[in-house]
Amino acid sequence: MVHLSVVVPCFNEAEVIDAFHTALLAALEPTGHPFEICYVDDGSSDSTLGRLRQLAADDPRVHFTSFSRNFGKESAMLAGLRMTAGDTAVLMDADLQHPPELIPRMLELHRNGYDQVIAQRDRSGEGAVRSALSRTYYRLVRRCMDVEVVDGAGDFRLLSRRAVDSVLSMPESNRFSKGIFSWIGFGSVSFTYQNVERAAGESKWGGRRLLNYGIDGLLSFNSRPLRLAIHTGLCLFLTGFLYAGWIITDDLLNGVDTPGYTTLLTAIVALGGIQLATLGVIGEYVGRIYHESKRRPHYVVSETDSRSRNRPAGPALECTAGARQTS
Ligand code: UDP
Ligand code: MG
């Protein structure tokens, strides 16, 4: 019997948390596996924390950690994974978009020897514009990134203990979990399920947050944008060189007669634009280095349940592979 830990990040989910908890228990209890549920309250401003306190008081299998403010889903997932003591961990959302009924199937696939079982959603019921944009993004990302990220394969997945420990061994503070899960490797298998609408409440992902998440993803796992800048620079230099050669030859053969105002202006504007964009890319990386070098903890804990095994947020580099949270 594998011991299962379910990790659930929650941010303002008071409206659905009870329904979610009931559905989760209904899915877990018949499997016969011992389990624990690790909720992380990501600084909710509604009554989520109160609900979690109650759930933990009523059931010793429920644990929770609450953050001092909203630190984002990535930090919440990290805190949740640090709480786990099971042989496997399942990461899932609290809004019932990740159907708990799929967990037995994930366990089944895990028994076949896979360290990561990924439940991949299709895009049914999603707005046409949004799904077209996501598809384009993934096509772009696949070409630009050193790790493979798959469209629809989000955070709903089962990880074996060693996969969890590997994820925890990555100290970076700019956490892009899709990339992290792919980077750690191990045998993985995925299956598709039909996309479900959020049960209640609102998605926290507006257009701007999604765009920033997309840029994060592109920059977190490689330095190819910098390489692209070098290539663009080289191409421009070569073109300029050839053009200059052509003008000089033309001048020598036919005499000087070109005012060339338009050409000059176009060249200056285009070059200026490219230089600014490149500077922006470099700036992003420098910003990241600055951010990482501060080695801040990923989150600050304000409260845990009395039995929680979670340690308070330590320095980012404190957590190492194989470190299991006990006591
Ligand atoms: N979430 C979180 N912190 C945040 C935003 C979201 O812990 O800052 C949680 C949220 O409670 C939910 C999951 O992450 O359990 C997914 O969030 P959401 O449903 O808003 O995202 P979507 O499904 O639209 O991608
Ligand atoms: Mg959702």
Q: State pLDDT tens for residues 76-96.
A: 999 999 999 889 999 999 988
pLDDT reported for residue 216 = 77
Query: Using an 8 Å Cβ cutoff, are 85 and 309 in contact?
Result: yes
The CA-based angle 44-17-30, given to 5 degrees, is 145
Residue 223: is its pLDDT beyond 80? Answer: no
Look up tokens 């786990």; give the residue.
84
Q: Considering only CA atoms, which residue is closest to atom 23 of ligand 1? A: 203
Ligand 1 atom showing the smallest separation from residue 72 Cα: 8
- Our answer on whether the CB atom of 95 is closer than 6 Å to any ligand 1 atom is yes
Look up tokens 């010793």; give the residue.
60
Exposed/middle/buried for 312, CB within 10 Å: 0-12, 13-18, 19+?
A: exposed
Mean pLDDT of the chain: 82
- Our answer on whether the CB atom of 204 is closer than 6 Å to any ligand 1 atom is yes
Residue 322: is its pLDDT beyond 50? Answer: no
Phi, psi torsion values for 17, nearest 5 degrees: -60, -40
pLDDT reported for residue 69 = 92
Question: How many CA atoms does the CB half-sphere of 15 hold within 13 Å?
Answer: 9
**Single-letter residue type at 301:** V
DSSP state of 197: -
pLDDT reported for residue 3 = 87
Exposed/middle/buried for 61, CB within 10 Å: 0-12, 13-18, 19+?
A: middle
Section 36-64 average pLDDT: 92
Ligand 1 atom showing the smallest separation from residue 76 Cα: 7
Query: Residue 199 is encoded by which pair of tokens?
Result: 């049960």
Residue 36: is its pLDDT beyond 90? Answer: yes
- Distance between CA atoms of 243 and 238, rounded to whole angstroms? 9
First to last CA, the chain: 23
- In a mutational test of the pocket of ligand 1, which residue from 7, 73, 212 has the highest number of ligand atoms less than 8 Å from its CB? 73
pLDDT reported for residue 264 = 82
pLDDT reported for residue 9 = 95
pLDDT reported for residue 110 = 92
Tens digits of residue pLDDT in 134-169: 788 777 777 777 777 777 677 899 999 999 999 999
- Distance between CA atoms of 198 and 196, rounded to whole angstroms? 7
DSSP reduced 3-state for 9: strand
- Distance between CA atoms of 110 and 27, rounded to whole angstroms? 17
- Our answer on whether the CB atom of 195 is closer than 6 Å to any ligand 1 atom is no
Torsion sign (Cα): 204, 207, 213, 214: positive
Q: How far is the CA of 92 from the centre of ligand 1 (A)?
A: 10
Query: Residue 174 is encoded by which pair of tokens?
Result: 């700019």
Q: pTM of the predicted model, to two decimals?
A: 0.75
Torsion sign (Cα): 279, 280, 283, 285: negative
- Our answer on whether the CB atom of 74 is closer than 6 Å to any ligand 1 atom is no
- Our answer on whether the CB atom of 155 is closer than 6 Å to any ligand 1 atom is no
Tens digits of residue pLDDT in 174-188: 888 888 888 888 888
Tens digits of residue pLDDT in 279-316: 888 888 888 888 888 888 889 998 888 766 544 444 33
Section 167-172 average pLDDT: 90
- Our answer on whether the CB atom of 152 is closer than 6 Å to any ligand 1 atom is no
Section 37-54 average pLDDT: 92
Section 113-128 average pLDDT: 83
- In a mutational test of the pocket of ligand 1, which residue from 8, 11, 156, 209 has the highest number of ligand atoms less than 8 Å from its CB? 11
- Distance between CA atoms of 79 and 103, rounded to whole angstroms? 21
pLDDT reported for residue 192 = 87
Q: How far is the CA of 129 from the centre of ligand 1 (A)?
A: 21
pLDDT reported for residue 312 = 47
pLDDT reported for residue 326 = 36
Write b or e for each residue in 63-79: b if 16 or more Cβ atoms lie within 10 A of its Cβ, otherwise e: bbbbbeebbbbbbbbbb
Q: Sorting pLDDT into bands at 50, 70 and 90, what band is 210?
A: confident
> Helices marked H in 63-160 — which ranges?
73-83, 103-111, 128-144
- Our answer on whether the CB atom of 45 is closer than 6 Å to any ligand 1 atom is no
Q: How far is the CA of 286 from the centre of ligand 2 (A)?
A: 32
Residue 43: is its pLDDT beyond 70? Answer: yes
- Our answer on whether the CB atom of 10 is closer than 6 Å to any ligand 1 atom is yes
Query: Residue 123 is encoded by which pair of tokens?
Result: 């895009």
Query: Residue 267 is encoded by which pair of tokens?
Result: 């060249």
The kind and range of the H/E element at 287 are: helix 261-293
Q: What is 151-167 written as a DSSP string? A: TTEEEEEEEEHHHHHHH
pLDDT reported for residue 152 = 67
- Distance between CA atoms of 326 and 318, rounded to whole angstroms? 15
Q: Considering only CA atoms, which residue is closest to atom 22 of ligand 1? A: 203
